[in-house]
Structure 1
Amino acid sequence: MSADAGRPVSTTAQHEAAERRQAARTLLSCPVLTSHRQPDELALVRRHSTALRSTFARLLGYHLIVEPSFARLVKTPPSADSPPRTVRRGDSPPFTPHTYALFSLACAALLTPGTGEWLLISSLVEQVRADAVTAGVELRDTPADNRRLVQAVGLLIDWGVLTETDGSLSAWSERREEGVLQIHRPLLPHVLPRPLRNVVSLADLFEPMPATAASEPRRSLRRRLVENPLVRREDLPEDERDVLSRERSELSRLLEEHFGLSLEVRAEGAVAYDTEGTLSDVAYPGPGTVRQAALLLTDALTDLARPTGDRPDLVVSWDTVRSELDNVTARHARAWAGAFVADPDRLRKEVVALLESMSLARSLPDGLALHAAAARYRPEPHARPTRAAQRFAVTRRREADEPPSDALFTESFLGEAL
């Protein structure tokens, strides 16, 4: 066969691989797809369902359910050292334990025997209120509790479990206007990670499936890299650190081939980053007061911070955090949201929460521990290291009893960014 004759086959194979990769990325960022809300994405997943089931099970230990009207990727629970994954709908406050309880009650209400395919919003609310009394969950008719209830039901709408067919949840919330919801019956039983018939406690509900082989170091390391913005080397078990060191090339190949992620490994840890910037549910850097403030704060703190022993964290006191954040707020007050400018404590809490969700910082009793990887986001990443950075490098070499070298600036996140 001539070279020209082989090209269509190669092109077709590449096209198929690209489609599978795109379908896998879609499921990672949106684990619930429905024909009503994402028809094109679901069609792509269904086209490659056999390969995708194998890929997710083999590489990550995830279970993929694909039906004519929906697809559901069931992930394993995150490790205890993973950053928080609190649900947040748009600009609404993050889910609280109370909101999660109301979400569970809403799911239970939809599963009540005799509930049809359609129901009134008011009927669902009445059932949730009745079940809350039975379950001992406080649910008062107050603006705060009603907002949480709307958030809980709204998440089911976002996921495609419920569809607004006449009226809307927001209209009911604001003016008590009646609305009709349609229940996606085939998807509803798969909202939770496993069937309830054998679950007797909350711990049973989130216990990993036996087939996932959660302790297998290669698979668990791949899960960390795919799900977490940053994997800290000091948080890895010894067997996963060994895989990261010995099998970096194979790990890089698998992440790129199946999920379109590029692996970056440094002295302090590893990042599987998305060059397209579409996979993560947290945009950073990005628009908005909190993201801009976080970026400017880490830039200001990097020059001021100092290492803490053998840890790759730069620790600054809370007084310094407040002072530096006040400084950047004063410089950008006209462009930032007035609510944050007027409430610096709120801005500080949300900035810290954002950095923690990205694994870039940790709150300590006496200050903020900023991971060296935060320096990747500093402006002019290829500029000459500042004097403060050079002093920091010398300090680290002395503590480690290392000879003078430029290796720190090529092997660590801090040096890469500075």
Structure 2
Amino acid sequence: MRAREIPSLALDSYQRAARVALANHLVTATYPDRIALPLLRRWATELREDLLDLFGYRLEVTETTARLFPVLDALDSTQPARTASDRVFDRRRYAYLALSLAALGRAGNQITLSELADHVAAEAGQVDGVELATDRAADRDAFVDAVGWLAARGAISLADGDAGGWANNPASGEALYDIERSVVMAMFRPPRAVQHLRSVTGLLVGSEVPTEDSEEDGESQPPIDPKETLKKVRRALVEHPVVYFDDFDQDGRTALAAVRTVADVELLTGLIAERRAEGVTLIDTSGRMSDLRFPSTGTIAQVALLLAGEISDRVIDPDALELPRHPIPDDGDLIDLVDSAIPGGGVFDDLAEFGGRGRTVENSATELYPFVENSWVNGAVSDLVERYGRTFAAQWQADPIGLGERAVGMLHRLRLVHIMSGGILVHPVIARYRDVVISVRDRVPQDSLFESMDLNGTEVNGTEPSDPDSHSHTTETEAH
């Protein structure tokens, strides 16, 4: 491992480079910032070896881009593409993003937004269920979101005009973009040609091309290399907020329990491992690798923290009815949902490799988790709004149901709970946030820099009112 050869004075720089590569699979001259690419270029040789040896990830570094090619062990619905306003991409935005990327690959050095929209609209018309009508505001907004996602990562850069003006009125607004071809080419590099796949599982590391002989004879699959098991465990450590022993079979659990497995990841990333009976989490004190900080500021994050404490208390409440327990469902439904959206006309049948899901490693765990119904969660959120609502953002004070959904969604992304039909399954690590201490601080605004003046410009004596209730207060909630 090359990280062991890095001088101690330079190790922090190397670990920062590793965190940047793992957190941003595509790094350009401007994304995620202007210092990221020079940092990766400095440590490119060492990073290539360590990322390949520890995770099986391939790193390509050029003068204009750094591209990390991860290995997918399973589908993950907790890391969707998001708009600049943190809105999750829907199917329409994903379709526009893919079609825009294809159009940019065939374009010249520049392209206007309307020209790009025409190309996408023409391609979208050939796919059932996809359409881009520029006379519909909803379609224009979704298209601009996809273009903005590309612009944020440096695939295109605004040369003139305004995309917002085109979205508001395409007849009078326009935008001109420079195309960064190296970024466009680096952005989409699937491990297999998507036209050869009938199932999304063909993109997963556990998938293999099924053969007629093996299907008829019922031959068992060859044993998994122990080195690959170690890589799978390490991949989980850097891709998920929490890694549970229950996520793996017996070999994987043994690998996760080994001190060396986690220590290698700690050395590469500079993160600190926290071990518990249920699994392992890596604590990112730098804040440079995590895409979701928790605990954090903001109404949703604070309500999520408060709700985590409420859920923990409910699970261990000796006076309440015992909660039912269920296993975590597999990702079969998600696979079926994605596969149902694959355009059948786009698959080359003669070259198609996968007729079904291929081979996946089955999880032999049978752990059961407490199930909390949505009605209880909604009641808990309503109670939190009643107690602390005056400190929340105004939009959430009037929408406790929406606030609860966003808070539960955050807990799901953190793998503290698992959302399922009718409620949530509670992971034991949520007990880490029991006994949350709440402090509400009332801040009296400072006196004005100017003396109060009457309407005629005459100075008014600035005595404080005798009624304390006449003071205006700004209230803050701190959850620890």
Report TM bin, short chain: 0.7 to 0.9
- For 1:139, what is the secondary structure of its paired residue? coil
Is the counterpart of residue 28 in structure 1 residue 38 in structure 2?
no
The alpha-carbon distance between structure 1 residues 68 and 364, as it changes in their structure 2 partners (threshold 3 A), is closer
Cα deviation per residue 1:14-69 (whole Å; 9 max; x = unaligned)?
A: 23322221111011122211124433211111111111111111111111110001
The residue type paired with residue 381 of structure 2 is L
Q: C-alpha deviations, 1:118-146, integer Å up to 9, x for none?
A: 11111111111111112231223323222
Alpha-carbon distance change, 172 to 208 in structure 1, aligned in 2, over 3 angstroms: farther
Distance 1:24 1:126, change over 3 A: same
The aligned counterpart of 1:410 is none
Q: Please identify which structure carries the higher helix content.
A: 1
Question: Tell me, which stretches of 5 or more residues in structure 1 are unaligned?
Answer: 1-9, 382-417
Note if contact 1:117-1:183 (Cα within 8 Å) is conserved in structure 2.
yes
1:39 counterpart residue number = 34
2:180 maps to 1:187 = no
**CA offset digits 1:237-265 (Å, max 9, x no partner):** 221101122x2x21232122101122222
Displacement of 1:198 after TM fit?
7.8
Q: How does 1:41-80 map to 2 (within 5 A)?
A: 41-80=36-75
* Closer/same/farther in 2, CA of residues 11 and 207 from structure 1, 3 Å limit: closer
What is the aligned residue count? 367
Deviates more, 1:154-163 or 1:191-200: 191-200
- Deviation per residue, 1:105-125 (Å, 9 max, x gap): 11111122xx21111111111
**Per-residue CA distance 1:263-309 (angstroms, 9 max, x = gap):** 22211122122122331111222122211111111112211125656
Q: Conserved in 2, the CA contact under 8 Å of 1:268 and 1:312? A: no
Asked whether 1:15 is paired with 2:9, we answer yes
Equivalent residues of 1:312, 1:372 under 8 A apart: no
Match among 161, 168, 174 for residue 178 of structure 1: 174
* Structure 2 runs not aligned, ≥5 long: 208-224, 317-322, 326-365, 438-479
CA contact (8 A) 2:137 2:168 kept: no
Whether 2:337 is the aligned partner of 1:343: answer: no
1:348 to partner: Cα distance: 2.0
Residue 156 (structure 1) shift: 0.7
1:374 and 2:436 matched: no
The equivalent residue for 2:305 is 295
Q: 1:195 to 1:160 in 2, by over 3 A?
A: farther
- Is 2:74–2:204's contact at 8 Å kept on the other side of the alignment? no
SS in 1 for 2:288: coil
CA distance, structure 2, for counterparts of residue 254 and residue 366 of structure 1: 40
8 Å Cα contact 1:193-1:205 kept in structure 2: no
Contact 1:36 1:160 in 2 (8 A): yes
Alignment partner of 1:120 out of 112, 136, 154? 112
How many Å separate the matches in 1 of 2:184 and 2:52? 22
Q: Among residues 270, 284, 290, which one is paired with 1:280 in the alignment?
A: 290
Q: 2:71·2:205 contact (CA, 8 Å) conserved in 1?
A: yes
SS of residue matched to 1:216: helix
Instruction: State the TM-score, normalized to the length of structure 1.
Output: 0.80
Would the aligned equivalents of 1:360 and 1:373 in 2 still touch at CA under 8 Å?
yes
Match of 2:123 in 1: 131
TM-score of the aligned structures, taking structure 2 as reference length: 0.70
- Assess, with a 3 A threshold, how the Cα gap between structure 1 residues 55 and 215 changes in structure 2: closer, same or farther: closer
Look up the SS of the partner of 2:390 in the other structure: coil
What RMSD in Å do the two structures reach over aligned CA positions? Answer: 2.8
Q: Distance in 1 between matches of 2:88 and 2:194?
A: 30
Match of 1:89, SS state, is coil
Q: Is 1:161–1:183's contact at 8 Å kept on the other side of the alignment?
A: yes
Cα shift at 1:83: 5.2
Q: Shift of residue 354 of structure 1?
A: 1.2
Confirm or deny: 8 A CA contact 1:355 1:361 kept in the other structure. yes
